[in-house]
Chains A and B, each alone.
Chain A
Amino acid sequence: MIHESDICIIGGGITAAMLADKLSELAPRSSITVVEAGVRIFDFENRTSYRQRSLDYGENAWPGDFIDDQAGAGIISRTMAVGGSALHWGGVTNRFSEEDLTLKSRYGLAVDWPIAWADLERHYCEAERRLGVSGEPGPLPEDRRSEPYPMAPMPLSYNLIVLKAWAEKSGIPFQGTPQAKNTRPYGGRMQCMRCNTCEICPTGARYSPDFTFKQLLAAGKIALHDQTLVRRLVASGDRRRIESAQAVSLARGGPGRSSPGEGGEPIEYRAKTFVLASGYAWSPHLLLLSGVANSSGLVGKYMTGHAFIGGQIELDAKLYPGMNEQHSLISRKFFRCASDGPFVRHDLRVWESSAGRDPRLKDSSGRLLLGDGLLQDWRARTERGAARVRAYYDVHPSADSTLTLDPSRKNRWGDPLPVIRHALDEPTIARKAATREHIVGVFNQLAKANNGRLFNVSEGGYLDHPSGGCRMGTDPAASVCDSYGRTHDHENLFVAGSPTLPTGGCTNATLTFAALALRSATRIANA
């Protein structure tokens, strides 16, 4: 079977949703096909019951959002469905800062991004509009915005009001995190009901890409082929263009099936422009499988993300855990550091916490607690409050930070699956101890107020919000694509979103992925 379109987007996550949404406006006469390996989970009417099953039994709140034999090794989400990892996300939409784009020129570290901050900032505003972000202006002049947030901020819960007053006694300014959650009806979705389960939002107030795809489908603006796995991109004889994407239907049959083929049937996609929007794992994976876009040898290299340190602080404050556990405070004070001092950049987050305050079966002497005795013990341990604190900090990948094909693990079609092994560059490794000392020092600075006590300090064992693998740049020998994601090797092949990041920043990255994708759309529409 052959399917033709003007633009073929491979992948169905948040980057693909942003691209499809904008491209349908910029190029309304172009036919757009989105091809996604996983299923579409569009039964919004069942979301309340999925949430309840998830709460009660720990069942998957997004049933069927994975493919049994399509799993990588390393930090790779199993989610493979229309909506991608942004089905599950918490909706936190922090921006990076100008420093992220100028690490080399400011600090002599890693590389500069080939984008000016003002350019990215405009696209942050656009991403915030399309996602529907609620937020408040930050207290620091460096965080000035060219447009206000689309929605008023999520109100701080009583717990966060108490914690903000406590945390700011340290002299560090905090604000509520901006979030892709509706504080008023927006984008055809309702206002947040504070259900405390943002990973499965039963009201639709938290943005997820399925809403965008449903709207585009209803308007007839795109075709969406889910349950269709693209296995190879095929280059033209002169290798200047991608001629087709070779896919296979994973359709299981039955109602709701939307792959154009029967299960196992090959499908050839032909398009004027191909856009790879399959995330940091599956985008470089497909390029490596296909042997394209890799004249630099850098596909699957410089895999990145940010490291993190967390802890708990017990303090004198009456708090009520469970008011809104997903919402947090953020300080962006440490996004900047002096160029002539030790390099350490990080965000700083504070959440309500029940750590050390859970009901327990035995007291500290090992005595069994039952009934009233257990409740009495529990209440006594909740007299003081607790806060969870965490810092994502800036680390930089080495060229040995890789995604490779693992010949020992293959899917049912015989294609080797990806394995990610993160590795940090030498300057990052050299400053690790100093970074930890600084961050724990900041935690202790917070803990000075209200008779606080820091405990359970721990370091993350992986890089969060992973990205990279097809990094952008101006030099074709040192990067895979340009700042718009157009691959240096193939004039009609773009990579969009997370794989293009040269470095992973020091805060949640999804808004940056979306902003970069929207910026890419302007060039894709005219390709």
Chain B
Amino acid sequence: MAVSRRSAIKTLGAAAGSPVFRLQAADFEAILPSIAEVVLPSEADRTAAVAAFTRWIRNYKEGADTDHGYGNTRVRTTGPSPARNYPAHVAALDRAARDRGAGSFAAAALADRRAILEAAIAGSNVERLSARPTGAHIATDLMGHYFNSSPAADLCYRAGIGRDVCRGLPGSEKAPAPLPPKAGSYRR
């Protein structure tokens, strides 16, 4: 019997909830703060950014129908979780750290972590920050997830725009209020 791409991806999606996959998730989540310290701005709430990224990964559904948009005759589904690639990325980062004399990537000095990540990103051939993780590299996925977020836009403009938040109509005629320190949280 022929298996369509849609049904194959849906089958993969069922496997994403398996114990094996959850074990892999636990492996890569631990390294995220040490990556965030290098790739996310010091002004950002990195803890919140990592938590949001982790939540995104945990709640990802493989094989879900995507928005087919206006006038678009193709219906697509989400692909395999980007996180399937992360254990390999983490292993490579740890190897590079050990080559520099550290026990692991997380234990390496900040300058070493930066050098390791610069080399890893260069090797991943990622050219732009995708709004949603792609699995190309765990570091650029974390960056793309954060920098394309509503809180990051608030931080950039130093204003409480709240792009993805339901804000009500009153006050919309005024410029957004200046951003208090460490604001731009992941409100919903």
Contacts and interface: CB of A to CB of B under 8 A. Distances in A.
A363 to B, nearest CB: 12
A156 B140 CA distance: 36
A375 interface: yes
Given A61-B67, A66-B68, A361-B143, A155 B161 contact: no
Interface stretch (A112-120, A194-202, A386-394, A488-496): A194-202
List of 8 A-B pairs having minimum Cβ-Cβ separation, nearest first? A322-B163, A359-B147, A193-B166, A195-B166, A375-B41, A60-B65, A78-B68, A322-B161
B144 to A, nearest CB: 8
B71 A77 contact: yes
Nearest to A183: B169
Given A59-B78, A361-B126, A372-B42, A158 B174 contact: yes
Contacts of A215: none
B167 to A, nearest CB: 5
A58 B61 CA distance: 11
Nearest to A361: B129
Contacts of B41: 371-372, 374-375
A65 B172 CA distance: 33
Contact of A370 (B39, B65, B150, B168): B39
Nearest to A182: B169
The binding surface of chain A is classed by DSSP as: loop
A370 B161 contact: no
B167 A193 contact: yes
B18 interface: no
Interface in A137-174: 154-158, 161
A339 to B, nearest CB: 33
Given A71-B75, A370-B143, 13 more contacts: A52-B188, A55-B164, A56-B132, A59-B67, A66-B75, A78-B75, A193-B169, A195-B165, A199-B67, A203-B166, A372-B41, A375-B41, A375-B156
Nearest to A56: B56
12 contacts: A58-B67, A58-B132, A75-B71, A77-B70, A77-B73, A155-B172, A194-B172, A196-B163, A320-B161, A323-B163, A360-B128, A360-B129
A88 interface: yes
Given A66-B75, A368-B121, A371-B39, A158 B166 contact: no
A63 B188 CA distance: 21
A158 B172 contact: yes
Interface string B56-96: 10011100111111111111001000000000000000000
A379 B156 contact: yes
Interface size class of B (residues with CB under 8 A): 35 or more
A191 interface: yes
The binding surface of chain B is classed by DSSP as: loop
Nearest to B158: A379
Contact of A57 (B117, B132, B147): B132
Contacts of A73: 73
A412 to B, nearest CB: 14
Nearest to B114: A370
Interface string A437-456: 00000000000000000000
A155 B78 contact: no
B21 interface: no
Contacts of B159: 320
A379 to B, nearest CB: 6
B157 A320 contact: yes
A359 B129 contact: yes
B94 to A, nearest CB: 19
Interface in B76-135: 78, 114, 117-118, 121-122, 126-129, 132
